[in-house]
Structures are given as C-alpha cells and as structure tokens.
Structure 1
C-alpha cells in the first residue's frame, strides 16, 4: 500500500454482534418469518456513515412482515367505511340462458358463484354494509363503434347486455341485461346504489368511484362477473384510485376457451398480486358480522 494512501475504516459487521430479532410467537408461517427476519437484517445493514447504529423494529412491525402474504388477516371491514361492490349480476353473465353461459357456465358451477353472491348480498344487507352494483349495458348506438377487441366484438355482435336505449326499459324485464331473479330483492330494495354502466371492462367510464367516495367508502369487497375481465379491471382501477380491495374469489367466475385458455385461473394469479386480500365467501361473510 502506498504510504500516502489513507487506510479506510473497517466497517464490516460481525453477524454475531448484530442484535437478535424479536421472536414472533404463535405463527407457523416459516417462509414469511424468514422474509421478515431478512427484511429486519436489511434494515440493520451498515451502509452509510461512521458511527452506524442498527434501526429498531418493534414486535408489531415484524409481525406485519411475517404475515405479509396472509393479507386477509390485515384488512378489517366496518360498515362505516366498507362496501360490497358487485359487477354484472345479470342474466347474460350468470343465467344458463345467458349469452356468456357457454364460456362461463363450467366455472360458475364449479365455484357456486350464484349461491356465493347471494350469501354476500345477504350478509351485507343484514349487517348494514353499503351495496353498490356496477352493471354492463350496451345500446344501439354502441354498435356503431369502429373498432373493438375480440370479446368486445362478440358482445356487440351478439347483443350481450343489450338494451333498446339508455332511457328505455322496453323489453328489459327478463332480458340478458336484467338482474338474475334471485338478486332482485337485494338490488331493488331502494338502498342499493346502481351506478351508471361501464362500457368495456373497467369503471373508468362510469361513476362508481364518485359514488363510493361520496358515501365515505375506502374499502371494497369485490365480487361478480367476469373474473378476468370486468372484475379484474374494476380491481385495478379501484386500487389505482386509492381503495383497499378484497376480492372474493369464489363469488366470481371466468370464461374457459379451448384456444385462449382459462380466464378464471389467469384472474386468480393477478388477484394475488394486486388485491389487498383474496378471500373465500366464508371468510368475507364472517368478516362482515
């Protein structure tokens, strides 16, 4: 070493001298605990100035990290700030006579989607939670659109969720755009908020976000149809708008296409990455009590 070169201080830290992380009792989630310990050690890493001291992390912070992947336990529901949002509870999406049944019927039956949506409606109404419905309606003027995606084109060509006009209820009762019969008592009780229709998949084109905010809602329990299209699009936009969102994974269903693939399976992957919580109907109903 050159005599004119100064020796840099040795900033290595011996692992045995690092303070031990607090013990998290009552958890068996080994991977999550390892993640938490790793994060705790990173928080103590000695990059920086001389005289470094490890930052403290209290027991509650570590427990939050340890339960990172079990997000359903972190999100709590209250009727003062939480609402049930149901997407497209309509005949064309959920009835055996609906236009979409050929693609979604198998998934609807496998998930008991209709029964689970009924349970969510019942739990929300019985426990005083707000209920919002975001419907999908198509009108004659929508058929003049000059371009569309594959499923948009099918929706327009087959007149899925079709109504004769924005201000007309002619031929609406019992149509594909009408509510599933077993949901009508919940939706038409004078308390449920039916927002303006979304036109493609997401709520960017309707007033759902405005209605939720005006009613003081900051947390959403999300369910309805179709899992990888309208439900996932609503999830993404609501998260971007600052809402905490829990998706009820068995109160939805998705299309299964022989060439394109399983839309429901694709949605579950993205729910896990995006939502604050991914719940079963049992868990959601219990949380609303």
Structure 2
C-alpha cells in the first residue's frame, strides 16, 4: 500500500453536511441504508483522527450551499442540479447546510471554495491549495461515492495526483452505485482503493 506522509498528502472530506449525514437531513433517508451498512460515520471519524495525528492536511470539499436564484436562467443545468435547487439542498444559513457535528473543521483545516456540481476541483481553489502546500497525494472520503467523490478523484488523476479511495468511508443511495464507484469506475482513476482499517494502520506508521 502507498505511503502517506504529512509532507505530501491531503485528506479531502467531501460534503459532510447535515442534509447528507444527520437524522432529519433532506438526503439522509436515501443514504441511510448504505451508510449504516458500511459504518460511514465511524469510519470517517477514524480516518480524520488518524490523519490529524499524522499531521496530514485536512481539506473540506464543499458543495454549493443553495441560495435564492441558484441555477435560474442556466442554459444547461442538468436534471440533477435542478432537483438540488428544488430541494434547496445544503441551503446557506440553514441547519441542513451546516457541518455534521462530528466533522466540524478545526484550526488549520482548509475550507475550499464551493463547487457548483460534482468535482471538488472544477471552479474551486483545490488545485492551488494542494500545489502551494506541496501535496501530490489525496485521500478522498465523504459523499457521494459515485458523484462528488468519484468526480474529484477523476479530476485529480487528470491533474497528476496520486488518488486513494476508501470503500467504507463513503456512501451512495444504492449498493449498485457503490459497486460502480469502487469496482467499475474507481479503478480507472484511483491509484489505491482500500478500506478504513488498512488505511488507518498505514497512517499510524510502523
């Protein structure tokens, strides 16, 4: 398995919003079965703790928090984006658009510019934040496995980053989507596809 040291690695936490991860969140009912089957919250917590202990930079990849007027008059807003606007997902200044309490940023973490669609790289400062810190390895956890996480992984690969996916530290709406993200699409863009226990052991060092 790859080596992840503090001088070259960034942990990217994708969209740990209440709307995704908390009881009462707008999308939690759709995610709950898969998230609980992989112990999403527990595994994300373990990885974040291990990364911080290893001195690894933690970056928050943030989906656009809905605001009035978003996506209106867009020529090519996809049905996916249109549904997000209708639901007012992660609305700014709302509980749903706040961080899940287990994943509040800490001093020194990097809060990236919000992405409008799926990739944490597209139209954000992720690339420059990594480059300026000399980080060329990225570990991706969070939501959703087959959309934002996968898109960020693919974009990262195109930029030349070493990409690691963690099967049980992400979730999707269905088991089929998880399978696609990790068994079909993931191998085309990730250098490593692992699980939480294996990753935490490596982060802990010899």
Distance 2:161 2:71 in 1: 33
The answer to which of 141-150 and 111-120 deviates more is 141-150
> Are 2:161 and 1:204 equivalent residues in the alignment?
no
Q: After the TM superposition, which residues 175-194 of structure 1 pair with which residues of structure 2 at under 5 Å, given as runs?
A: 175-184=95-104, 187=105, 189-194=106-111
Q: Tell me if structure 1 keeps the 8 A contact 2:22–2:100.
A: yes
Aligned-pair RMSD on alpha carbons?
1.4
Distance 1:112 1:228 in 2: 17
TM-score, scaled to structure 1: 0.66
TM-score, scaled to structure 2: 0.92
Match of 1:251 among 150, 169, 173: 169
What residue ranges of structure 2 are gaps of 5+ in the alignment?
none
Three-state SS of the structure 2 residue aligned to 1:209 is helix
Distance 1:208 1:221 in 2: 13
Alpha-carbon offset, residue 147 of structure 1: 3.7
Distance 2:44 2:143 in 1: 10
Distance 1:111 1:220 in 2: 21
Distance 2:51 2:118 in 1: 24
Alpha-carbon offset, residue 176 of structure 1: 1.1
Q: After the TM superposition, which residues 126-145 of structure 1 pair with which residues of structure 2 at under 5 Å, given as runs?
A: 126-137=53-64, 138-144=66-72, 145=74
Q: Please list every run of at least 4 consecutive aligned residues from structure 1 whose deviation after the TM superposition is greater than 4 angstroms.
A: none
Distance 2:125 2:20 in 1: 21
> Are 2:44 and 1:117 equivalent residues in the alignment?
yes
Q: Which protein is bigger by CA-based radius of gyration?
A: 1
Match of 2:150 among 232, 240, 245: 232
Q: Tell me if structure 2 keeps the 8 A contact 1:225–1:231.
A: yes
What residue ranges of structure 1 are gaps of 5+ in the alignment?
1-72, 164-170
Q: Report Cα offsets for 1:193-250 as digits up to 9, x if no partner.
A: 0101011001212111111111110001111100000000000000101100111111
Q: How many residues are paired up?
A: 200
Match of 1:275 among 183, 190, 194: 190
Q: Report Cα offsets for 1:101-146 as digits up to 9, x if no partner.
A: 2321111111111111111110111111110010112222314134
Match of 2:16 among 61, 82, 89: 89
Pair 1:154–1:108, CA change in 2 (3 A): same
Q: Which has the higher contact order (CA 8 A, sep 6+)?
A: 2
Aligned to 1:151: 80
